[in-house]
């Protein structure tokens, strides 16, 4: 029985979330926590999927219908359709990606079982990571020759639904390519050669949040020409440009300050929350050099930069004592990869 397993990392932002949606620069890194997608040949002719919730049966006609509906909504920029699709079916993005592979890459989707799993939390790019894993696993299983750029571009299409219409592309780029990346929507992704070792702690507020809602909130303020928001987005662009140079130099204190400045701008955008602010301030009091929310905000995760492994432990303990869940993980992790091919 044939089995293929692919995995992809999650990611955190040093700087630039939300701003990247509006063509500002962002700086992100892949983390040591991953998602995986296993595709296994099974004896029946009904494909099965275990993604969010229980195992479900997949029907070719439904996959085709979803594929066509999403393609039409993308074409017409009808973002409300995605909200409705997600509300009706938590698995719609993965179903769409399977439909995409069937229609665009002629995979003959049949007697397989797909099992997705994740170590990631809200704010760690769990959606894009799963999409990278699924696309890589499907292409490997069905012998479609896809490079990383193509995997990333297809994973991006899943995020069009997950992010409510206008993903920047930094999430799928980081989960696919891995390492450290700088990203501007109009330019694309560039991997950075970073040799210094950085210590971070990620703190999960355990508060659910919707990236699509937060992105929509900021997009509406931009469309309304909100001066404070426009100016905050420009400031984030400058912060990210400086952060790229500083990251290469390994100047921890300045990088921490830039992260703090970025958090001030994120407050102006209106995407922070009391739970995030609480974990950010306890992390700072415990010695973090800088701390900010990471990802869509509203809840989800924050990230703290620490001087060394000892401070990392102190910050993690402080986050735990404040009711959050800390994660100490490596960064600069490898992008999407095949774990098993039997
Ligand atoms: C979410 O991980 C990052 C956002 O900037 C959205 C995006 O880049 O598409 C909030």
Tens digit of pLDDT for each residue in 106-165?
Answer: 998 888 999 999 999 999 999 999 999 999 999 999 999 999 999 999 999 999 999 989
Q: Is 170 in the pocket of ligand 1 (CB under 6 A)?
A: yes
Q: What CATH architecture does domain 3-194 belong to?
A: 2-Layer Sandwich (3.30)
Residue length of the chain:
342
Structure-token pair, residue 273: 């929350």
List the alpha helices (DSSP H) in 51-147: 60-76, 80-88, 92-104, 126-141
Tokens (6 digits) for 260: 């703090």
Give the number of the atom of ligand 1 that is nearest the alpha carbon of residue 159.
9
Q: Where do we find the tokens 């995986």?
A: 36
Q: Both tokens of residue 161?
A: 């639904």
Going from N- to C-terminal start, the domains of the chain cover: 3-194, 198-331
Which of 183, 253, 236 lies closest to 30, judged by CA?
A: 183
Atom nearest to 17 CA in ligand 1: 5
Name which residue sits closest to atom 9 of ligand 1, judged by CA.
Answer: 167
DSSP designation for 54: S
Count CA within 13 A, CB hemisphere, residue 91.
Answer: 20
Q: Is the entire prediction scored with pTM above 0.85?
A: yes
Cα of 85 vs its chain's centroid, Å: 20
Single out the residue of 132, 120, 114 nearest to residue 55, CA to CA: 114
Please name which of 238, 215, 237, 231 lies closest in space to residue 300, comparing C-alpha atoms.
215
Contact 132, 153 (CB under 8 A): no
Q: Is the CB of 20 under 6 A from ligand 1?
A: yes
22 lines ligand 1 (CB under 6 A): no
| pLDDT tens, N- to C-terminus, the chain (342 residues) | 899 999 999 999 999 999 999 999 999 999 999 999 999 999 777 899 999 999 999 999 999 999 999 999 999 999 899 999 999 999 999 999 999 999 999 998 888 999 999 999 999 999 999 999 999 999 999 999 999 999 999 999 999 999 989 899 999 999 999 999 999 999 999 999 999 999 999 999 999 999 999 999 999 999 999 999 999 999 999 999 999 999 999 999 999 999 999 999 999 999 999 999 999 999 999 999 999 999 999 999 999 999 999 999 999 999 999 999 999 999 999 999 999 999
- Give 198-331's CATH code, choosing from 3.40.50.2020, 3.30.70.890, 3.50.50.60, 3.30.460.10: 3.30.70.890
């Amino acid at each position: 029985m044939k089995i293929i397993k692919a995995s992809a990392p999650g990611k955190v932002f040093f700087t630039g979330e939300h701003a990247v949606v509006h063509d500002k620069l962002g700086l992100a890194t892949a983390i040591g926590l991953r998602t995986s997608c296993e595709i296994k040949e099974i004896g029946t002719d009904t494909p099965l999927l275990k993604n969010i919730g229980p195992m479900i049966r997949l029907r070719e006609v439904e996959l085709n219908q979803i594929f066509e509906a999403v393609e039409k909504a993308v074409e017409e920029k009808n973002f409300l359709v995605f909200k409705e699709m997600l509300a009706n079916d938590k698995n719609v993005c993965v179903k769409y990606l399977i439909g995409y592979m069937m229609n665009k890459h002629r995979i003959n989707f049949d007697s397989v079982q797909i099992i997705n799993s994740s170590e990631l939390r809200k704010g760690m790019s769990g959606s894009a990571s799963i999409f990278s894993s699924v696309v890589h696993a499907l292409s490997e299983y069905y012998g479609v020759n896809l490079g990383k750029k193509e995997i990333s571009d297809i994973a991006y299409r899943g995020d069009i639904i997950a992010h409510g219409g206008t993903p920047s592309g930094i999430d799928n780029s980081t989960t696919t390519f891995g390492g450290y990346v700088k990203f501007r929507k109009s330019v694309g992704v560039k991997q950075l050669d970073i040799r210094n070792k950085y210590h971070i702690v990620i703190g999960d507020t355990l508060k659910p949040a919707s990236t699509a809602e937060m992105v929509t909130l900021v997009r509406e303020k931009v469309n309304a020409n909100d001066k404070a928001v426009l100016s905050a987005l420009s400031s984030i662009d400058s912060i990210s440009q400086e952060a790229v140079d500083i990251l290469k130099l390994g100047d921890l204190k300045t990088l921490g300050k830039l992260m703090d400045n970025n958090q001030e701008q994120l407050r102006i955008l209106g995407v922070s929350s009391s739970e995030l602010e609480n974990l950010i301030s306890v992390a700072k009091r415990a010695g973090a050099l800088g701390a900010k929310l990471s990802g869509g905000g509203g809840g989800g995760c924050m990230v703290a930069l620490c001087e060394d492994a000892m401070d990392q432990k102190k910050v993690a303990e402080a986050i735990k004592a404040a009711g959050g869940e800390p994660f100490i993980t490596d960064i600069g992790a490898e992008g999407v990869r095949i774990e098993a091919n039997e």
